[in-house]
Amino acid sequence: MNRIKLLFFATIRDRAGTKSLEMDIPADMTILELKERLVSEYPKLKESLHSVLMTINREYAFDEAVVPPDAEIALFPPVSGG
């Protein structure tokens, strides 16, 4: 198992009901699989996770990225500029 820290920002924090949490995940879990697990454990996040921006250790991460051990994962809602 791999222990990670999740950080939630803005509306995602509101929907998760917390600003951070720690979670044990399988060693080969991808970002996409992590999103699926988050939806199953935190159903209010489902709508947000379709367009969420995620980082692994402060670097942007995409669905196919494997989450490394002791990673810090941050979830940000998309932002728009004008």
Whether 60 maps to a domain, the answer reads yes
Q: For residue 59, list its beta bridge partners.
A: 56
38 close to 18: Cβ distance less than 8 angstroms: no
Tell me the mean pLDDT per 10 residues along the chain, length 82: 96 95 97 96 92 96 97 90 58
13: domain range?
2-76
Whether 82 maps to a domain, the answer reads no
For the chain, how many structural domains are there in total?
1
Q: From CA 64, how far away is CA 29, in angstroms rounded? A: 9
- Whole-model pTM over 0.75: yes
- What is the predicted pLDDT for the residue at 78? 83
CATH of the domain at 45: 3.10.20.30
Whether 72 maps to a domain, the answer reads yes
Whether 81 maps to a domain, the answer reads no
